[in-house]
Amino acid sequence: MAWIKRNLFFAIGAVIAVGLLAAAGVYDYNNWQRNKAALDALNQTYDTLRRLNSQHPSPGNDEIDNIQTAQGQEQELRVWIQEAGQYFQPIPPVPDSTNGVITDAQFAAARDHTLSQLQIEAANASVTLPPQYSFSFEAERTLVRFAPGSLNALAQQLGEVKMLCEIFYAARINSLDGIRRVPISADDTGGSQSDYLNETAMTNNLAVFTSYEVTFRGFSQNLANVLSSLASSPHGFIVTGINVQPASGAAAAPSLLGPQTMGRFDQQPPSAPPSYYTRRSPYVPSPAPANRGGLQTVLNEQLLSITVEIEIVKLLPGN
């Protein structure tokens, strides 16, 4: 103690020096830790850059900036998606409620009006329907109260069925034999199973896909009209399958396919018209009778039973 008293300032200086050395040591250690973490991050970034540069394609170099190119292509894709959206316009539901809320009474009234309207439009277009046909809504035809939570989906399907019927009517088909849809309501279990597909609606992060199946009778030109209308529609129709077979008991009828090839008369009767033609099966010529003038049979088309499988694509909000 006496020494400390005699060398008080020296002792205080020594203690301060030791404290400063300890603080410097802690400071250096912390800086070393930060430098080590920064070095590890730098090495990791360098490894990532080296890995990216070794990929094909790479992010680019001083002359080629693949990242900027990818960003430009992404923008082009977004513009394309926006432009393509005009071909996937939603089909208005029936009824189309402004606030999205549909009551039992509203749907029942819209159902009766729509089914009656489709019957009248079929008669005006000379399209034959099954007796008292309900267009796949037989289970809901007489209901006044519907399964909870099903009205919006039923209204959407009713609007889509209406749109499909109008397309097929405009194609001048001979008869509409049936429409099948995806069951979406608990009420559908009480209907004829011939009205429904053994499928469910599918949804991904872009759209909802709903399937329909339409069976009708007509000729190849009617099928061409249907496909043309579906392809040019703004409502996102995708034809996923076509089944064609002769309609049983159908009589031969004039085809609506293409121009006819006119023949030559070797011995034309005085009262005969200057030319005529007949048709057989598609593009199969028939030899003319021996020693007889007239045209060869070119086409004699039979009535067909045609089933068209269709998916309707409905974009989700924001796409």
What are the start-end ranges of the E strands in the chain?
175-181, 202-203, 207-218, 237-246, 304-315
Amino acid at 231: A
Q: How confident is the model at residue 279 (pLDDT cuts 50, 70, 90)?
A: very low
Give yes or no for residue 21 having a pLDDT over 70. yes
pLDDT in tens, 253-264: 443 333 333 333
Give yes or no for residue 290 having a pLDDT over 60. no
Give yes or no for residue 132 having a pLDDT over 60. yes
What residues are paired with 242 via a beta bridge? 308
pLDDT in tens, 58-109: 666 666 777 788 888 889 988 887 888 788 899 999 999 888 899 999 999 9
Q: Which tokens go with 169?
A: 């009517």
pLDDT in tens, 189-227: 888 889 999 999 899 888 899 999 999 999 999 999 999
Give yes or no for residue 248 having a pLDDT over 50. yes
What mean pLDDT is predicted for residues 291-306?
Answer: 72
**Ordered domains of the chain (ranges, CATH):** 87-251+303-315 (3.30.70.60)
> CA-CA distance, 319 to 315, in Å (whole number)?
6
Q: Which spans in 214-304 are helix H?
A: 220-232
Amino acid at 63: E
What separation, in Å, do the N-terminal and C-terminal C-alpha atoms of the chain show?
Answer: 86
The DSSP 8-state label assigned to residue 194 in this structure reads G
Strand 207-218 to 202-203 pairing: antiparallel
The DSSP 8-state label assigned to residue 251 in this structure reads P
> CA-CA distance, 136 to 194, in Å (whole number)?
8
Do residues 166 and 158 make contact, with C-beta atoms less than 8 angstroms apart? no
pLDDT in tens, 224-247: 999 999 999 999 999 999 999 998
Q: How confident is the model at residue 25 (pLDDT cuts 50, 70, 90)?
A: confident
What's the pLDDT at 30?
Answer: 83
Do residues 285 and 297 make contact, with C-beta atoms less than 8 angstroms apart? yes
What's the pLDDT at 192?
Answer: 86
What's the pLDDT at 46?
Answer: 82
pTM above 0.75, yes or no: no
- Residue 192: name the closest of 242, 148, 138, 232 by CA: 138
Mean pLDDT of the chain: 81
The DSSP 8-state label assigned to residue 289 in this structure reads P
